[in-house]
Amino acid sequence: MIKPQQFLILFLSILPSITSQQPITCNQSCPGYQTNPVQYPFGFSSGCEIPLNCTPNGEVFIGEFSVQQLNPDSLLVSLPAKCGRLINTLTNLYSDHYAPMSSNAILMENCTAQMKNCMIPMTTLRTHLEIVNCSGAQGGDGNVSCYSSDVTRMFLDYGNVTSMGCRFLFSGVATEMIGNSPAISLDIQVVRLGWWRRGGCDCSVDAECTKIVSPVDGSDGHRCSCKSGFAGDGYKAGSGCRSMKGSSGCNPSKYFSGHCGGTGRIGVLVGAVFVGASLIVCIGLIICYIRRRSILRSRSRVSRQFYQAKGITIPIYTYKEIEKATNCFSEKQRLGTGAYGTVYSGKLHNGEWVAIKRIKHRSDCDDSIDQVMNEIRLLSSVSHPNLVRLLGCSVDKDEQILVYEFMPNGTLCQHLQKERGNGLPWLVRLTIATETAQAIAYLHSNLDPPIYHRDVKSSNILLDYSYTTKVADFGLSRLGIMESSHISTAPQGTPGYLDPEYHQNFHLSDKSDVYSFGVVLVEIITAFKALDFSRRHNEVNLAALAVDRIKRGCLDEIIDPSLEHNKDTWTYSSIHKVAELAFRCLAFHSEMRPSMAEVAAELERIRVSREENTSLSLDGTNHSSVSIVNEKQISQEVKIDESDKKGLLNNMNSTDEQNVSPNYADDRWLSESSSPLSSGRLGSGSKV
């Protein structure tokens, strides 16, 4: 007979084995964040067969890589472009349960073997992906190579990828066939991973099994999927498969008849709940109907304004088309935010990449609509190679959206601040300044009535694939004929670029654009910001700083060192000539400033002087140059006699405190860049 002491000892000895056999659970929801559960066999705990990680904000990771999509047969994992990422990082994409599929193209750096079998042409990659030149040199596609394998195989072989002798993993591109057509869709900076369960088929009765050979160790694996007419994950250990044909559960009629169990009292309670819910639904429908009618009336009024507006001939897109092009206005495709809206990159149904500007909702809705119509009318009425081109708009669903041509090389401001690239050489900067002046001069002098831009700044000067200048953002423009009778007290323009006379008469004119362009010229010479509160108090305003140095003959103190202005006579001379022109543009009194036509002609003359000097040094002959400014404008000589120069200097001395007082920098108007930004790199030779 077993004594009580012996029984207690026996129980304590087998207790650990009993507790160790408790079933291990898998948490399929992100802890601390309410999201839909992920499908079996994925989960967020150690007991899951394929464990995932998640952040407090609900973002899902597999290893160190963000999961964008989780499909029944694959994972779409983010692999952002990055220089210097070791090739060994690729091992994190291979495990006992997943590996990169053969439909991927892997981009790598510093490869010793030459790759010629990439399924994606490099020209296409240049269009869709910022091929960063990781070597730091200018021109070409840098040292990035593309690898892809035979698509008849299911997975990329790790040994074949690493045999190319590449040192770094740059990024990836996932491809997918579109239906039965030869076209393919590209998912940039992502990799598609195929996944499987280890071992032989373990599917439910109504599921089909796909056998898989692991590319990692050659072991057997499988995936399950429910047959047609069934829903579920298809695994015995998961939810299995359930029929979609009807349901054997109780319906409302059975509940009321008592066939589902319970008493008549429960039926009465259910009936009361049903009546109350119906009443709430009816009230909600009435409110929605009234709101919808109000929205439709407003939308109809806006649409009529757009369709009836004279001079608007661009396509009008539906909201659904715009939403699809921007992936529902994804934050990943946001390019920038400005005073009047946010700009996203988008891909239209015809494959064209565009910049999409979503106008902000304002309390003064009529003014917002007028703002959009004004910009559309202006951009539709002008045609110049250095003005940004409007491709379409949308006024659907109470939204005002503008579609612009895509500018892959960002803004002049970004290049000057070296947020993109390593800066621009002087000849490129001078050419950009000349083209910008020609575009503004075209608005002032070649149109009747003239158009004033009213927000000229370096962040509104965009650069296309070949670094050709495109002046953007006509959101504050007005037809010149309206200015004679309209005075506005609302803030116009951007602090640091704003005409100082505006604070006296609240009136902006063509000479206001000249002043703003003078600030841009100083930015081009110095690579300083127009307003920088990290500078000394009396140098916060760049216009103040530049005027002071030019008057004291100390321009060399603020010239951008990367320009190497002392390397040759022409560079030194041209920089000083442009500075003198900027000095004239920054005159406090507008009548002392030159016209934009004179500014454009002078810049063209400075730029062409280099070509003339080069031609004379080569063959002793002079060559003519063609300018976008018309002959009438170029024929205007920018001449100031000594008395004019003296008067100008006296005027600058007497008004310097008003002109460039740091008080103007204290205006707190939000004015961020809203220009379309994208990838690109200055080609060799600095040709524009």
Whether the CB-CB separation of 42 and 50 falls below 8 Å is answered with: yes
Whether the CB-CB separation of 525 and 550 falls below 8 Å is answered with: no
**Among 634, 657, 519, 503, which Cα is nearest to 585's?**
519
Model pLDDT, residue 310: 54
> How many angstroms separate the Cα of 124 from the Cα of each of 115, 343, 409, 472?
16, 23, 16, 26
Q: What is the DSSP letter of 101?
A: B
pTM greater than the 0.75 cutoff: no
Q: How far apart are CA 295 and CA 289, in angstroms?
A: 10
Q: How many domains does the chain fold into?
A: 1
Confidence of residue 151 (pLDDT cuts 50, 70, 90): confident
- Convert the pLDDT of each residue in 64-118 to its tens digit: 889 988 888 898 999 988 888 899 888 889 988 999 998 888 888 888 877 777 7
Bridge partners of residue 177, in order along the sequence: 184
Known binding residues are 357
Structure tokens belonging to residue 224 = 């399950």
Confidence of residue 525 (pLDDT cuts 50, 70, 90): very high
Statement: residue 226 has pLDDT above 60: yes
In residues, how long is the chain? 688
Whether the CB-CB separation of 393 and 401 falls below 8 Å is answered with: yes
Model pLDDT, residue 109: 86
- Out of 118-127, 563-572, 630-639, pick the least confident: 630-639
Bridge partners of residue 369, in order along the sequence: none
* Residues with active-site annotation: 455
Element (H, E) at 402: strand 401-405
> Does residue 619 belong to any structural domain of this protein?
no
Model pLDDT, residue 22: 43
Task: Give the N- to C-terminal CA distance of the chain in Å, as an integer.
Answer: 102
Known binding residues for ATP are 357
Confidence of residue 129 (pLDDT cuts 50, 70, 90): low
> How many angstroms separate the Cα of 294 from the Cα of each of 236, 304, 522, 570?
53, 15, 51, 65
Q: Tokens 């997918």 label which residue?
A: 176
Dump the DSSP string for 607-620.
HHHHHHHHHHHHHS
Tell which wins on pLDDT, 51 or 520: 520
> Does residue 111 belong to any structural domain of this protein?
yes
Whether the CB-CB separation of 233 and 253 falls below 8 Å is answered with: no
Helices (H), 79-211: 122-128, 158-162
Whether the CB-CB separation of 214 and 93 falls below 8 Å is answered with: no
**For residue 160, what are the domain limits?**
63-195
> Does residue 100 belong to any structural domain of this protein?
yes
Collapse the DSSP code of 432 into the 3-class scheme (helix H, G, I; strand E, B; otherwise coil) and give the result. Answer: helix
Question: How many other CB atoms are there within 10 angstroms of residue 485's CB atom?
Answer: 6
Report how far Cα 494 is from the mean position of its chain's Cα atoms. Answer: 22
> Does residue 145 belong to any structural domain of this protein?
yes
Q: How far apart are CA 517 and CA 476, in angstroms?
A: 16
Confidence of residue 622 (pLDDT cuts 50, 70, 90): very low
> Does residue 601 belong to any structural domain of this protein?
no
- Convert the pLDDT of each residue in 18-63 to its tens digit: 444 444 678 888 876 666 788 888 888 888 888 888 888 888 888 7
- Convert the pLDDT of each residue in 294-330 to its tens digit: 766 665 665 666 655 555 678 888 888 999 999 999 9
Instruction: Give mean pLDDT, residues 500-525.
Output: 90
Helices (H), 552-685: 569-585, 596-619, 631-634, 642-659
Mean pLDDT across the chain: 76
Q: How far apart are CA 577 and CA 592, in angstroms?
A: 18
> Does residue 674 belong to any structural domain of this protein?
no
> Does residue 139 belong to any structural domain of this protein?
yes
> Does residue 168 belong to any structural domain of this protein?
yes
Element (H, E) at 42: strand 42-43
